[in-house]
């Protein structure tokens, strides 16, 4: 990491400026009114710089959302040996993120794009939803080995029970997103998974 | 109901033609490419006729979706006295609707609008989601009276457990929509609601 001018580092700085500008603007004006021009102006780069790296507004917002989450880092869930406590820790953090306007606005914009664009949906599943779900299932499998969840439980269905109500409540703004709500979803899901 | 020319009946015929055209076109071309011009041409009416009744493309699609569902009719769920059987009947029908392109395309278009337009979301909640949820909760309350669901169960949360996984799977196209899936959601939800 020499201190000499490095075009790849300058280029990375521009890239980060574009992503930050996209996140800020989508929060301020919403996805529909977001323009490549405005992102370029806010980031202090030319439009052509943006089009060199991204094919569309949707693609910029996609990467802006990716850069928000810890998707490149360690996605492993906490494992204290207590699945109920660990899921509550994780769900409370997720609920708090979705209650945060700076986080939720870009994710909402991305979701709207995904619902209309099957290609973007497939990319999102491959790059984000898939790896994240795998990390969650790894924690559930460890709970299965510990005898806290039945060995034959359908883990995809378990994740849907846990997360889909939160996703729907956030997406449709149909109810409050609170720590109590996170806890209730964990309690109900663990009860649903118990042997009959 | 005299057979003489009746402007209100002709007007109702035009209205129904517009709604049918909107449903067909949104299925064929998607919401983004849908235009008032194309709806007018397909329905055989003038653009001004459409703008007399609806303020936007979103409003037309909203009414087209309303006219699809049995929202004006009797929304009561079946009540054979067996909550598990009745919920499976209802959930299987819902899953089948969402697996039907002619039904799901207008609903998808409407959902995309709702996610971007809080005013439309509020209208949808008032006119559609609210009354439908009340009908479902009436059936769950009858199951509570029959001792099949605990008296202190949170019925809003129960509906989320039952329907949110289906909504998410449909919206994100993340898994198959089958009768087995409908049954599994009913089984898991009823288990989750049992007393600890």
Domain span holding position B156: 73-193
Position A46 in a domain = yes
More confident residue, B106 or B141: B141
Cβ atoms A179, A99 nearer than 8 A: no
For position A185, which CATH number holds? 1.10.357.10
More confident residue, A67 or A85: A85
Q: What pLDDT does residue A66 have? A: 80
A59 and A137 part of one domain:
no
Position B2 in a domain = no
Total count of domains within chain B: 2
Other Cβ atoms closer than 10 A to A37: 10
Q: What pLDDT does residue B75 have? A: 77
A102 and A37 part of one domain:
no
* Cα–Cα distance measured from residue A98 to residue A105, given in angstroms and rounded to the nearest whole number: 9
- The CA distance from A31 to the nearest CA of chain B, in Å, is 9
Q: Is B79 helix (H, G, I), strand (E, B) or coil?
A: coil
Q: What pLDDT does residue A157 have? A: 95
Residues in chain A with CB shorter than 8 Å from the CB of B169 are 160, 164
pLDDT reading at A60 higher than 60: yes
End-to-end CA distance of chain A: 59
CA nearest neighbour of A92 among A166, A144, A171, A172: A166
Give the pLDDT band (50/70/90) at residue A193: very high
A62-71, B126-135, B136-145: least confident range: A62-71
Task: Summarize the confidence of residues A160-187 as an average pLDDT.
Answer: 95
Is the interface score ipTM higher than 0.90?
A: no
Query: Which residue among A168, A175, A196 places its CB closest to the CB of B191?
Result: A196
B91 and B156 part of one domain:
yes
Residues in chain B with CB shorter than 8 Å from the CB of A160 are 165, 168-169
- The CA distance from A11 to the nearest CA of chain B, in Å, is 33
Q: What is the pLDDT of residues B3-57, one digit of tens each?
A: 566 777 778 899 999 999 998 898 888 777 889 999 999 999 999 999 999 988 8
Q: What pLDDT does residue B4 have? A: 63
């Amino acid at each position: 990491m020499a201190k000499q001018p490095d075009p790849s580092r300058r280029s990375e700085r521009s890239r980060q400026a574009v992503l930050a500008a996209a996140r800020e603007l989508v929060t301020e004006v919403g996805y529909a009114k977001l323009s490549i021009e405005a992102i370029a102006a806010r980031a202090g780069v030319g439009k052509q710089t943006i089009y060199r790296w991204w094919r569309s507004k949707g693609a910029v917002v996609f990467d802006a959302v990716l850069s928000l989450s810890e998707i490149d880092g360690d996605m492993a869930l906490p494992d204290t040996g207590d699945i109920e406590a660990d899921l509550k820790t994780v769900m409370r953090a997720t609920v708090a993120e979705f209650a945060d306007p700076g986080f939720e606005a870009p994710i909402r914009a991305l979701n709207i794009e995904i619902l209309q664009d099957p290609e973007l949906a497939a990319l999102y599943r491959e790059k984000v939803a898939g790896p994240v779900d795998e990390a969650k299932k790894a924690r559930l499998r460890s709970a299965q080995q510990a005898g806290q969840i039945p060995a034959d439980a359908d883990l995809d269905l378990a994740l849907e029970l846990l997360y889909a109500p939160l996703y729907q409540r956030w997406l449709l703004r149909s109810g409050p997103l609170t720590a109590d709500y996170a806890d209730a979803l964990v309690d109900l899901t663990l009860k649903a998974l118990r042997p009959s």
